[in-house]
Chain A
Amino acid sequence: MANSPILIREQRYHQIKALLARLRLDASARLVVLVDKDGQQIAVHGELGELDTTSLASLAAGNVAATGGMAKLIGEREFPTLSHEGERESIHISVIGRVLLLVVFDDRSSLGLVKLRSKQVSQELAQAFAEVERDSQASAADGSLPFGEITDEEIDSLFSQP
């Protein structure tokens, strides 16, 4: 079983952030978030305000997982995009391999524009994330993970405070 952690190096992280920044601008979006399919937030760019992006990431993954389950029941592999339109704020989610691209937008933009721009950036995001996976496998293979040397005392120390 492949069991190596996903490692995001700084350079790759900034590359992903730059792609999100460009998408946000091109789509006139409020916020762009890249989320792993299992609910971990990878990167975010835009007007955060008080928004709880950790919960947003987890719920987006749950949402995609649930609609993916429905897709399979009717004989589809998955639904590659999802959109939720609200009175003022809307959300568009694209499934790009194992990551989800989530765009939050309001009436400064439109669903059509967000869809178009999301699609345009998805190839580059897929490539960037494929690199992340290659980095992770390489680090696992050559033993250069940061926690290879972690001691029992260090782990215990995390639990010493209530």
Chain B
Amino acid sequence: MLRTQPTKASMTFINYASREINCKIVYYGPGLCGKTTNLQHIYDSTAAQSKGKLISLATETDRTLFFDFMPLELGTVRGFKTRFHLYTVPGQVFYEASRKLILKGVDGVVFVADSQEERMDANIESLYNLEENLRSYGYELMKLPYVLQLNKRDLPNVVPPADLTAELQRKGEPVVEAIASNGVGVFDTLKAVAKQVLTELRKS
């Protein structure tokens, strides 16, 4: 079997023939924090010509089994169409092997935290797991475009944003309060990470 060079870290694709830039964004976080709900809202509120299909590889009970995926076209920069490939990972702890696979080649990460008090430990565990999985591919969270979303702000038993931020913010990344189930904060989150990914292209 033939081998080319080993896999490199970054994955932004710039195609001069089709005049396209393709970037990969992954939504990460503990089980039931609302990653799929974020994608579903983006899908439902985007014009048909700007999006592809929303693919969900889910269990019978609608839990993400492998990933959700949707391509989204944002607009044109310098004559190039900017296309973002949005992925979610399965949040449940025992899907660790699949979760790690989705991170490969990521250009930007959104961490969706569940604001409910009883999910604090799950948030911390998932964030730690994210950093560990990134490291296994040679990435550093500190160097990657990254946004922290505090989701489910409408529920009664939520931790105050300042406390969540103190516990979960890693590097001064943008923090967005959200209620993904009705769309609040969903596009602000996407914009915050997409801007960082495009700014990163300028640096590279």
Seen from chain A, the residues whose Cβ lies within 8 Å of a Cβ on chain B are: 1-10, 13-14, 36-40, 42, 52, 54-55, 58-59, 62, 65-66, 69, 80, 95-99, 122-123, 126, 129-130, 133, 140, 145-150, 152, 154-159, 161
Contacts and interface: CB of A to CB of B under 8 A. Distances in A.
Contacts, number: 162
B3 A158 contact: no
Nearest to B12: A5
20 contacts: A1-B143, A5-B21, A7-B16, A8-B14, A8-B15, A13-B15, A39-B24, A59-B69, A62-B67, A62-B101, A65-B104, A98-B4, A126-B2, A126-B4, A129-B4, A130-B4, A147-B201, A150-B202, A157-B77, A158-B75
A9 B82 contact: no
B170 interface: no
Contact of A5 (B98, B104, B204): B204
Nearest 5 A/B pairs, CB to CB: A38-B105, A97-B4, A13-B17, A5-B12, A65-B101
Interface residues of B, number: 54
Contact of A2 (B4, B10, B16): B10
A161 B46 CA distance: 11
Q: Summarize B's interface: helix, strand, loop or mixed.
A: mixed
A40 B198 contact: no
